[in-house]
Amino acid sequence: MQLAQLATGRDNNYNLIRMLAAFAVLVSHSFALATGRPDTQPLQAALGMDLGNMAVDAFFITSGFLVTGSLLARQSALDFLVARILRIYPALIVVVLLSVFGLGAVLTTLPLADYFADPLTYRYLWKCATLIWGVAYNLPGVFDSNPYKGAVNGSLWTMPFEIRMYAFLVIAWALLLLTRARQAPLFRVAVVAACGISGLLLLRQHFVTGAESKGLHLFFMFFTGAAFHLEKARIRLHHAGFAGALAALVIAAVIDRDLFFIAYLLTAAYLLFYLAYVPGGALRGYNRAGDYSYGFYIYAFPVQQTLIALYPGISVAALVLSAGAITLGCAMLSWHLVERHALAVKDRSAAAIRRALQLLPR
């Protein structure tokens, strides 16, 4: 069946996929945080990329697909940006405030006056709450004795990249408004070209220069998702295609890490969209629970670091189970108390901004 026929409405498995991806990040980080060695994360030695990396890729592919659809449906850069801001920032600001004024203030080894006098405290607050100039990782005197020393919320490293992807997408769309009737085809060409060129650059980095750019990797994943949305009428999801792509990925993993890298870039998006739309039945019931994945993602790392600080020597398994349960509780509170309320006012907020702009002198 065509992806275009399936990608309508909210009857899909995205909430479940994103939640599983968020949990996979927690599992992967548990190895690094409990041992202090990032190279112990699952799949890293065998495949050259760890479970957490793959989970983040799933987030970016999904995001590229869905936010492109949102932009094209709204046909308004203002509405798009307001929706994105209200999805990202309210919950983020809450977790940053809790980290600085709650967690940090309680767990710092410094006198409280020194903690609040230290410029690093406000650098963390500013950078992590805005994401404009990257993120900060350390709060003074917090988690300094943990195996993975100092980092308060390492998961936030992906967030500035996500913000930049939104900016790239909406700027390209807005600039192509100048072409009027040709905007839609040129936008499609620009997005597909961004996907293809970034994929080729990734292959060049991997096989020629040996360098590895996380930004380029995430750019490719995001714009792969965006390209799938724009080409959804030409893409067919069926059992044979899924089985073939999965078989190719598994065989490549067995044979060679470099071959797996190529197969992964070529198949990851197709596999994800098949799982998002084709399996149905009881799986769709998860949608009634709410979208806890974002809250889970942004709370997991500080919860894990706190447990490690309170229970030195905690095992990876115990960390996964305890942090998973606590983080799920935080994520549920984040969704029900913050996120869903912020999303509920996105249309009213955009309309209010539009009215305010109309009142400005011309």
pLDDT in tens, 52-110: 999 999 999 999 999 999 999 988 999 999 999 999 999 999 999 999 999 999 999 99
Work out the percent of the chain whose per-residue pLDDT is above 90.
78
Mean pLDDT, rounded, for 305-319: 96
Give the residue, 360 or 223, on which the prediction is more confident.
223
Long-range CB pairs of 124-128 (<8 Å, 24+ gap) are 124/96, 124/99, 124/100, 124/152, 125/96, 125/97, 125/100, 128/92, 128/96, 128/99, 128/153, 128/156
Question: CA 22 to CA 27: how far, in whole Å?
Answer: 9
Helical packing angle, 257-277 and 214-230, nearest 10°: 40
Question: What integer pLDDT is reported at residue 132 of this predicted model?
Answer: 87
Give the residue, 38 or 266, on which the prediction is more confident.
266
Mean pLDDT, rounded, for 282-291: 85
Secondary-structure breakdown of the chain: helix, strand, coil percentages, each rounded to the nearest 5: 80, 0, 20
Question: CA 152 to CA 302: how far, in whole Å?
Answer: 5
Mean pLDDT, rounded, for 183-197: 92
Question: CA 298 to CA 339: how far, in whole Å?
Answer: 12
> Has residue 362 got a pLDDT over 70?
no
H or E stretch covering 180? none
Interval 231-273: pLDDT, tens: 999 999 999 999 999 999 999 999 999 999 999 999 999 999 9
Question: What integer pLDDT is reported at residue 344 of this predicted model?
Answer: 94
Residue 48: how many other CB atoms lie within 10 Å: 17
Residue 139: how many other CB atoms lie within 10 Å: 29
Question: What integer pLDDT is reported at residue 180 of this predicted model?
Answer: 72
Of the ranges 34-38, 92-96, 304-308, which one carries the lowest mean pLDDT score? 34-38
Work out the percent of the chain whose per-residue pLDDT is above 70.
99
Mean pLDDT (the chain) is 93
Question: What integer pLDDT is reported at residue 10 of this predicted model?
Answer: 82
> Has residue 359 got a pLDDT over 80?
no
**Planar angle of CA 133, 98, 40, nearest 5 degrees:** 70
> Has residue 350 got a pLDDT over 90?
no
C-alpha atoms less than 13 angstroms from C-alpha of 158 in its C-beta half-sphere: 22
What SS3 class is residue 236? strand
